Amino acid sequence: MQNQLKMYKIVQKLELKEIPLSNITNDCIIGIEWSSDNKCKVVTINSDTYASINLKDTDLRVKWTRSSVESYVKSALEQGNHINAYKFDSEEELLEWLLK
C-alpha cells in the first residue's frame, strides 16, 4: 500500500469555517441558502417557534416552523438538493450575505 501525499492549499484568509449542528443554539444568527439560490434568515416567532424569512419572496406566510433553531437547520439540511446553512457573527454580516 502506497503512502498518499497529504497536501493542503495555503490561503491568506479562510472564508468559511465549519461547525457541528449540535453547536447551534437559539440565539445563533443563521442564514440558509436553498437549491433555488434563494436565501433566507431564520427568525424567532416566539420563545419556542422558529421559521425563516426570504427577502425575495413577497409571500411572507410561514411555510414551516420548528421548536428550535437547531431543529430548523437540521430539517432544512435534510431536505437535500444542495442546501447550505451558515452561522454568522453579526446581523450585519448576515444582511451583507443575503444581499449578494
Task: Read off the pLDDT of each residue in 5-17 and give the average, rounded to a whole number.
Answer: 65
Please tell me the pTM assigned to this model. 0.79
What residues does each domain of the chain span?
26-92
Residue with cell 411572507: 60
Q: Are 43 and 53 in contact (CB under 8 A)?
A: yes
3-class SS at 31? strand
The answer to which of 26-35, 53-62, 63-72 has the lowest mean pLDDT is 53-62
**Model pLDDT for residues 14-54, shown as the tens digit of each residue:** 677 888 899 999 999 999 998 877 899 999 999 899 999 88
C-alpha cell belonging to residue 2? 502506497
How crowded is the C-beta side of 7, counted as CA atoms within 13 Å? 3
